[in-house]
């Protein structure tokens, strides 16, 4: 008898750029957007370290469709509130030209503590990501899935790349956001742990020795969440559009569901060395979906798009049960038309390096599908 998959609940967090429509620079909203949003959205909207950033998060969603409805609603509400302040909103991993030195820090003890500890590494962390939680009630299984899912992080990341510019420079990367974040401690690909007790001991040791004051300061690309029954994917750049966000969320959920299915059949996906996966992560940051990544099984370079197509085949048998085929099929659109980074670079080239046109593109894409 075919065993049904459990419900893999979702929580999606997006970090938005608040932009002055005249200068096209990032602009502090002086917490007015966050305070205004809390009237309608309660704890679904938060301030971030820099005053020009707004973070939103869905409630716990039972399906990709439910999460998509919430993201559309959240984006629409933030656009509406920004408009009242004569501001606009955009979605990208970095702002094309804004200087972090010009952006004020939110007046909050949490952020003051981080800046006090990390200094310019924190002040310069003017970046925007999309995080996706997938619900796993059993933490031991959650840890196994985290260990196995690590292999697929570069594939997901490549599709999400959307930060080719930094402080008015074309960086040569499709995602420079990840290079900025590398300055923080406890970032990057997650360590391998053979048990939840080993994982918890690691967290307890860091807290006990004052390396961190709470376990949320593990900022890996993928983590077993210390407080919720989720594994949290944190590697993605913030997406231009709702469609791109939800495509990547659907793919993440499908990967977790497929690995869970294999685990329940006493089959596990290969665990590859972190040093090898780091090579693919670098290639994803540098080239996005263009160029090649490494197929470790074959021990050779393969076109990144081919590996992504193989990933779609790998998860295909769980997609219909999850009800996310339309969203996952959007991967083909991304591979045909390019990632957010590719689109930003095209606008930049078509307008002779005019960054204001790139910002206009980012803000116009943000409202698509709302």
CA angle 31, 80, 92 (to 5 degrees): 75
Q: How far apart are CA 362 and CA 240, in angstroms?
A: 6
Q: Could you read off the pLDDT of 154-207 as tens digits, one per residue?
A: 999 999 999 999 999 999 999 999 999 999 999 999 999 999 999 999 999 999
Q: Phi first, then psi: what are they for 110, rounded to 5°?
A: -60, -45
Q: How far apart are CA 23 and CA 6, in angstroms?
A: 49
Q: How far apart are CA 95 and CA 28, in angstroms?
A: 14
- Helices 153-160, 242-264: axis angle to 10 degrees equals 170
Looking up tokens 């929580």 gives: 11
Structure tokens at 296: 């470790």
Q: Could you read off the pLDDT of 284-316 as tens digits, one per residue?
A: 999 999 999 999 888 999 999 999 999 999 999
Q: Do the Cβ atoms of 245 and 12 come closer than 8 Å?
A: yes
Q: Do the Cβ atoms of 27 and 80 come closer than 8 Å?
A: no
Neighbours of 226 (CB within 10 A): 15
Q: What is the mean pLDDT of residues 116-134?
A: 92
pLDDT for 363 equals 98
pLDDT for 289 equals 98
pLDDT bin (cut points 50, 70, 90) of residue 83 is: very high
- Indicate the DSSP class of residue 31: T
pLDDT for 278 equals 97
Q: Could you read off the pLDDT of 264-278 as tens digits, one per residue?
A: 998 888 889 999 999
DSSP secondary structure string, 71-113?
HHHHHHHHHHHHHHTT-EEE--SS-SS--GGGSPBP--HHHHH
How far is CA 265 from each of CA 4, 135, 261, 269, rounded to the nearest angstrom? 12, 20, 6, 11
Residue 48 has pLDDT above 90, yes or no: no
Report the chain's mean pLDDT, rounded to a whole number: 94
Q: Could you read off the pLDDT of 212-267 as tens digits, one per residue?
A: 998 999 999 999 998 899 999 999 999 999 999 999 999 999 999 999 999 999 88
pLDDT bin (cut points 50, 70, 90) of residue 2 is: low
- pLDDT > 70 fraction of the chain, expressed in percent and rounded: 99
Q: What is the mean pLDDT of residues 94-112?
A: 89
pLDDT for 121 equals 86
pLDDT for 30 equals 67
Q: Which long-range contacts (CB under 8 A, 24 or more apart) does 321-325 make?
A: 321/4, 321/5, 321/257, 322/5, 322/8, 322/63, 322/64, 322/250, 322/253, 322/254, 322/257, 323/63, 323/64, 323/65, 324/63, 324/64, 324/65, 324/250, 324/253, 324/254
Q: How far apart are CA 262 and CA 268, in angstroms?
A: 6
pLDDT for 182 equals 94
Kindly list the domain boundaries of the chain, sorted by start residue: 10-366
How far is CA 163 from each of CA 173, 231, 236, 283, 331, rounded to the nearest angstrom? 8, 25, 10, 14, 19
Measured over the CA atoms of residue 195, residue 201, residue 204 and residue 209, the dihedral's sign is negative
Fold (topology level) of 10-366: Creatine Kinase; Chain A, domain 2 (3.30.590)
pLDDT for 9 equals 98
pLDDT for 274 equals 93
């Amino acid at each position: 008898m075919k065993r049904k998959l459990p419900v893999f609940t979702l929580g999606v967090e997006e970090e938005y750029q608040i932009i002055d429509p005249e200068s096209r620079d990032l602009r502090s909203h002086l917490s007015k957007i966050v305070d205004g949003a809390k009237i309608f959205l309660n704890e679904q909207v938060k301030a971030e370290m820099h005053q020009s950033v707004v973070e939103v998060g869905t409630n716990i969603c039972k399906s990709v469709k439910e999460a998509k409805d919430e993201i559309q609603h959240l984006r629409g509400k933030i656009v509406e509130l920004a408009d009242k302040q004569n501001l606009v909103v955009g979605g990208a991993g970095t702002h094309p030209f804004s200087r972090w030195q010009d952006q004020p820090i939110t007046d909050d003890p949490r952020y003051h503590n981080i800046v006090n500890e990390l200094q310019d590494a924190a002040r310069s962390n003017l970046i925007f990501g999309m995080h996706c939680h997938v619900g796993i009630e059993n933490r031991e299984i959650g840890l196994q899935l985290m260990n196995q899912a690590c292999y697929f992080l570069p594939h997901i990341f490549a599709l999400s790349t959307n930060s080719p510019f930094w402080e008015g420079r074309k960086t040569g990367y499709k995602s420079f956001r990840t290079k900025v974040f590398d300055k923080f401690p406890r970032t990057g690909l997650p360590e391998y742990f053979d048990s939840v007790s080993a994982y918890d001991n690691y967290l307890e040791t860091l807290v006990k020795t004052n390396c961190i004051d709470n376990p949320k300061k593990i900022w890996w690309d993928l983590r077993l969440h210390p407080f919720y029954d989720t594994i949290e994917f944190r590697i993605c750049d913030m997406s231009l559009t709702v469609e791109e966000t939800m495509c990547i969320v659907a793919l993440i959920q499908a990967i977790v569901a497929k690995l869970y299915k294999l685990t329940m059949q006493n089959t596990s996906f290969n665990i590859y060395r972190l040093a090898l996966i780091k090579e693919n992560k670098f290639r994803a940051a540098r080239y996005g979906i263009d160029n090649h990544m490494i197929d470790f099984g074959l021990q050779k370079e393969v076109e990144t798009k081919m590996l992504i197509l193989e990933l779609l085949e790998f998860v295909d048998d769980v997609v219909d049960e999850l009800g996310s085929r339309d969203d996952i099929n959007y991967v083909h659109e991304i591979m045909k038309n390019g990632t957010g980074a590719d689109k930003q670079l095209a606008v930049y080239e078509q307008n002779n390096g005019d960054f204001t046109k790139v910002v206009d593109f980012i803000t116009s894409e943000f409202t698509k599908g709302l």
